[in-house]
Amino acid sequence: MTGTLRIMLAIAALLVAGFGIYYLWAGTLPQHTLKIAGTYTVIVLLTLIVTLITRPAGEKH
């Protein structure tokens, strides 16, 4: 589970860095930035829920 969290945080950091670079170059953020953030949040939540549901009961990791 920690691997999944690390991957999700790494992808989020890359998205933030990309939007930061875009902001530095253009001076504004695209209008669809909130849609992208919301979509990514839903994907992360669904991934975590599925991971918790499908995890074997005796797993110690």
> In which domain, by residue range, is 25 found?
2-54
pLDDT in tens, 7-40: 888 988 999 999 999 999 999 988 898 898 899 9
Number of domains in the chain: 1
pLDDT for position 20: 92
Neighbouring CB atoms inside 10 A of 22's CB total 14
Structural domain includes residue 60:
no
Assess if residue 8 is contained within a domain.
yes
The answer to the question of residue 38 being in a domain is yes
Report residue 17 as tokens.
């860095």
Is residue 50 included in any domain, yes or no? yes
Report residue 3 as tokens.
Answer: 């691997």
**Side-chain half-sphere of 5: how many Cα atoms within 13 Å?**
3
Q: What pTM was computed for the model? A: 0.71
Q: State the Cα–Cα distance between residues 21 and 59, nearest whole angstrom.
A: 41
Contact 33, 16 (CB under 8 A): no
